[in-house]
Structure 1
Amino acid sequence: MKNCTSLSTYILLGLTDDPRMQVLIFMLLFVSYTLTVTGNLTIIILTFVESHLKTAMYFFLKNFSFLETLYTTVCIPRFLYSLTTGDKTISYNACVSQLFFFFLFGTAQFFLLAIMSYDRYVAICKPLHYATIMNSRVCAWLVLCCWIAGCLVTFPPLCLGLNLEFCDYNVIDHFFCDASPMLKISSSDTWFIEQMVVALAVLTDIVTLLCVVMSYTYIIKTIIKFPSAQQKMKAFSTCSSHVIVVSMTYGSCIFIYVKASAKDEVTVNKCVSVLSISVAPMLNPFIYTLRNKQVKQAFIDLIKRISLISKK
């Protein structure tokens, strides 16, 4: 056994070494990050100030927007800093922190999407009992459970990962500290932790996806029984935004775990990571606002209120 001095600094290769492409990537990510933060904060503010957005549905949407903001903030600002300064180094502690919060927020999102599908099930299948079942206390507990579940999924592999040694190589082939490229450069045996990461990821995806599928199975069965086409369209419209977001979230996850060839795997994972970390959180606020009359009206009312205050 050779002595191992653990490395304290790592180098993130990023997406490309082409200076022109780096400028383009910086502009695109800066715009998408700005829109993400602005859009999600707008939804959070609207749900706080507008009285008719105080239902369970908008409580979960507010928490989802909060998670989306944190999720993209974990990775994108650090990468933008790297593109601006050319500094690709990151300390071990910063790398571990980024890895932990990335998986915590990402995992909590999946559980929250499952909770939101259950909320839609109660709203459509049990409308008379909706206010009783989805009261503020229950909603708060459900959101707390999402965070607890995220911690339970994230902590075991992280604790094992803290015991890994990195002695020979400190170059991470990614634009942030993701699990797969970090495990590849470890000088320890990573077989067990790799299996644990995959097992927990698949278990999280399957459990939450089953909840979503079961909820929408009952929702569709109920909607089909509605007598008028107008009622059916109204019911489908209340679920459409959530279905689109679920499809985007699980779609990107499936692309990451259904591996491409070994040669293209890293490139594909990087591209999908950019889409899931930057593009999806940017689109989600627009999906919910553009397809939701109540949110659009609340936004218009807020703008009018701000303009009246500024005139005074």
Structure 2
Amino acid sequence: CDCDIVGADSPAADAQCIQLGLAVFRRIGQPFRITVNHVGLLRRMLMQDGVPEEKTTAAMLILDKLKKVGEEGVIADLEAAGIQGSAARRVIAIAQLASNSERFTAILEGYGSTPELARTQEVLSLVDEPEVVFDPSLSRGLSYYTGVVFETYMIDSPVTSSVSGGGRWDGMIGDYCGRPGEFPAVGISFGLEPITEALKEAQRTTGITGRSSVVDVFVIPIKTPLESNEVARELRAAGINTDIDIMGRGISKNLEYASLSGIPYVVFVGRKELDAGMLKLRDMKTGTEDLLRKEDLLVRFKEQFKRH
């Protein structure tokens, strides 16, 4: 699941992607951390610490494994690749400082001011949130990134891989089009599988069961495909997260699906109800059913599922 901004090279565009990540993971409701860096800044730091320019990409890819293999593992891998391992120790030490301001100060004092550092500071000033952390060791491990990069990790979760990541990739579109540099771009992607696993683990450890679907209303057609599609369309137009059975399942199978997915309401669209100008609503939590006019159903759901 990806979201990209093409044509804008401003820090505000970078910040928008990070803010999207904040909104998504706050909605999920599990503790998380978003780490941010600039690949150009890391490259400069490594070169100042003695890594030859032609080996910086390899060094950055190895540093990207820091969370998996630890500091000594990174040093060993650098040495195995013919790169002086001590060159990474200062970067790692700065990354382990307690706050963003301490890390920025350490880089200014140790490496001097650079455009990449200034860009990173500006982006973080636009997303000054406790979950967002500056990590000068982050590179994302993908060579097409050209600027600010970011990753999201769940806290206190057995899911140790990143659940979201992204960054600026200004060169890719122009390179494909034969027009280098004309199409700045930044984006964020979400790992649906690790996010799902993190949520499942949280449910197992806390005993709290949550919804596995963002759907508010599930429409069940009863030999009324055209009318049911129109009901679903109107619910969506009203801002209600709506799904509809397109598998042709029976009523009991559809109710089982809605229950397992944690969908709170089901709307039956049958010929008998339509002829009476009504729709049947079932509350999946209580099992109660009501006959409502479509207009009243829309008013009820718009009030209940207000989204700002």
TM-score bracket, normalised by the shorter chain, equals under 0.3
Greater fraction of residues in helix? 1
Q: Which has the higher contact order (CA 8 A, sep 6+)?
A: 1
The structure whose Rg is larger is 2
